[in-house]
Amino acid sequence: MKDLLDIMRKKTDSDSSGHVEFDRIRIGLASPEMIKSWSHGEVKKPETINYRTFKPERDGLFCAKIFGPVKDYECLCGKYKRMKYKGVICEKCGVEVTTAKVRRDRMGHIDLASPVAHIWFLKSLPSRIGLLLDMTLRDIERVLYFESYVVTDPGMSPLEKYQL
């Protein structure tokens, strides 16, 4: 994402109004490995904020250790404050002392027990998954909701490959 922003900020090949001209743009899906490389940590809890302290829960959806500090140049526990500790990671709470603006850029990830399909790829018309697998939307929904299975290796059984 930062690469794209850096390209857009460059003023090369731009006219006087500041517009940048592009020949093409390519959009694709990120692999699980690429997503994990972007991640700053794993979100393990569904909690967001502690109702007593109003601070983000550790390993939760708003975790300061994963996403960055809530206040500029201040760790969560308050051990390190001010700009002179910039870049220091607190031993107590594990938060990096930097600007709170990094919370907008940093991503975390959630390891799921089983693979999931995004609803946009399933319900869009025509269904992207349906076109890719040459299956009807109803059959794909039955597989995704564990009502039926697709045979990938028939082995010695009387079933045929790709049969529901």
* 52-102 tens-digit pLDDT: 989 999 999 999 999 999 999 998 888 999 889 998 999 998 899 999 999
Cα distance between residue 48 and residue 60, in whole Å: 6
Confidence class for position 19, pLDDT limits 50, 70, 90: confident
Regarding whether 104 and 70 lie in a shared domain, the answer is: yes
Name the least confident of 72-76, 77-81, 112-116, 153-157.
153-157
Cα distance between residue 116 and residue 125, in whole Å: 19
Contacts of 91 (CB under 8 A, 6+ apart): 79
Cα distance between residue 139 and residue 149, in whole Å: 9
Regarding whether 139 and 155 lie in a shared domain, the answer is: yes
> What stretches of 74-140 adopt beta strand conformation (E)?
107-109
Residue 100: inside a domain, yes or no?
yes
What pLDDT was estimated at residue 61?
93
pLDDT, the chain, mean? 84
Residue 8: inside a domain, yes or no?
no
What pLDDT was estimated at residue 137?
87
Q: How many domains does the chain have?
A: 2
- Coil vs helix vs strand at 38: helix
Q: Do the beta carbons of residue 77 and residue 90 sit within 8 Å?
A: yes
What pLDDT was estimated at residue 42?
92
- Boundaries of domain holding 142: 113-164
Residue 19 gets which letter from DSSP?
P
Residue 17 has pLDDT above 90, yes or no: no
Regarding whether 90 and 127 lie in a shared domain, the answer is: no
Percent of the chain with pLDDT over 90: 34
Q: Tell me the mean pLDDT in the region 133-157.
A: 84
76, 93, 111 - which closes a domain:
111
What pLDDT was estimated at residue 49?
92
